[in-house]
Structure 1
Amino acid sequence: MFDCKVKVREIADILKISAGIVHTIIHEHLGMKKVFSKWVPHLLTPEQKQQRIDDSKSCLDMFTRNKSEFLRRYITMDETRIHHFTPESNRQSGEWHAAGESRPKRPKTQQSAGKIMASVFWDAHGIIFIDYLQKGQTINSDYYIALLERLKAEIAKKRSHMAKKKVLFHQDNAPCHKTMKTMAKLNELGFALLLHPPYSPDLAPSDYWLFADLKKMLRGKKFGSNDEVIAETEA
């Protein structure tokens, strides 16, 4: 119990008995089994876990009070990298074959190094706009503030039902999203910022829905430039 990673062979060598006997004792008599660690994005502290509960309940209560109104006012955003080539998944490569036929073969390929960063702003009605980061630029607070100003203009143009409504805006906790300059701009624009607990990608609908479908549609397609990637993404 002092070394949970000790191997069966090591115990057998120390006790001068067979590995088979050690295996039987460990599994059948002691009721032990070897388990492997599970990968998680971040190990949360008790305080962060409690914050996840509190923030999730707050958003759920807001949604439950008036679902239709919540969805009319809710706008979210996230960034994703779109590669010039992403190989298709095993499921996408499936083909119908007669019984007894050999399985088709394909070489193992990696996604391309060429890629472009897309910032997507969207709501329950669809995409509001997508910004594509130009080569040599980075998304800092100033860049992000410019996107928020564009969002305000696009909402006025494309979402007439929001003319007298306050936007319920949801973003993750990326550094450029949480600076004092960004918070001041969100307040100036009149956006109500929804809570997003730390290290909670599962609460960002872009991650588990929109981007997953987008990447699935682009898998297996090859593009020669950023312009081709942008055109296909827009389509």
Structure 2
Amino acid sequence: MQWRRPSSSPPKKAKVTQSSGKVMLSCSWDCDGIIMTDYMEKGKKVTGEYYSGLLKRLRSELARSRRGKLRSGVMLLHDNAPAHRARQLRQLNGAASKFFHILHTRRIYLLFPNLKNPIRGPRFEDITDAITAVEAWFQAQSDTFYSQGLLKVKDRWKKCITQLGDYVEE
């Protein structure tokens, strides 16, 4: 509301365009770079079934692109969301899977905060434009970006352990 004379014209309003929405990215990476990305379809939810299917695809991708890693075992670091603790995941994590799951409750990843900055400003026409920008950002990172990021995670783990799980500043 604003004060105006009865004879004055109504105020101009900016036209708001509809957002193309959000899309959830699940990303698997190691010191050599991105292993696999998965962009969840709009309207779907992360369930135990969805997440175990994602891990099966990750296992296949690891066997294809990172020869020998599955034999020595793979550590997965993820939060303690219900889907990550689901029955399907426990069944998948049998002796043959070679996946070792580490749950955490604090943000210690360094990939996503770095990713958010360059894609925060531009307005994308649709989801495919946003996905293209994210994939281009992944490709543009230096050879040492991912390995340095994992070393920082290791340092943050040590801080978390010495502080007995209390909050760790960046």
User: What's the TM-score bracket when you normalise by the shorter of the two chains?
Assistant: 0.5 to 0.7
Query: How many Å separate the matches in 2 of 1:133 and 1:160?
Result: 27
Identity of matched residues, %: 34
Equivalent position of 2:116 in the other structure: 215
**CA shift for structure 1 position 234:** 0.8
Query: How many Å separate the matches in 1 of 2:51 and 2:60?
Result: 14
Give deviations 1:54-106, integer Å, cap 9, x for gaps: xxxxxxxxxxxxxxxxxxxxxxxxxxxxxxxxxxxxxxxxxxxxxxxxxxxxx
Distance 1:222 1:156, change over 3 A: same
Long gaps (5+) in structure 1:
1-111
After TM superposition, what 4+ stretches of structure 1 lie above 2 angstroms from structure 2? none
Letter in 2 for 1:146: G
Letter in 2 for 1:186: N
Equivalent position of 1:201 in the other structure: 106
Give deviations 1:187-227, integer Å, cap 9, x for gaps: 25221223x34xx223x32xxx1001110111211101011
Letter in 2 for 1:132: Y
TM-score (ref. length: structure 1): 0.47
Query: How many Å separate the matches in 2 of 1:141 and 1:150?
Result: 14
Equivalent position of 1:178 in the other structure: 85
Structure 1 counterpart of 2:75, from 163, 168, 173: 168
SS in 2 for 1:201: coil
Letter in 1 for 2:100: A
Q: Which structure would you say has the larger Rg?
A: 1
**CA shift for structure 1 position 161:** 3.8
Equivalent position of 2:33 in the other structure: 126
Query: How many Å separate the matches in 2 of 1:113 and 1:154?
Result: 30
Structure 1 counterpart of 2:47, from 131, 140, 150: 140
Query: How many Å separate the matches in 1 of 2:114 and 2:125?
Result: 22
**Aligned-residue RMSD, C-alpha:** 1.7
Give deviations 1:20-75, integer Å, cap 9, x for gaps: xxxxxxxxxxxxxxxxxxxxxxxxxxxxxxxxxxxxxxxxxxxxxxxxxxxxxxxx
Distance 1:163 1:182, change over 3 A: closer
TM-score (ref. length: structure 2): 0.63
**CA shift for structure 1 position 163:** 4.7
How many residues in Structure 1 have an aligned counterpart in Structure 2? 117
Query: How many Å separate the matches in 2 of 1:181 and 1:165?
Result: 23
SS in 2 for 1:156: helix
Query: Is the 2:20–2:126 contact (alpha carbons within 8 Å) kept by the matching residues of 1?
Result: no
Query: How many Å separate the matches in 2 of 1:191 and 1:161?
Result: 13
**CA shift for structure 1 position 136:** 2.4
Long gaps (5+) in structure 2:
1-18, 137-170
Query: How many Å separate the matches in 2 of 1:171 and 1:154?
Result: 18
* Mapped pair 1:192 → 2:97: no
Equivalent position of 1:225 in the other structure: 126
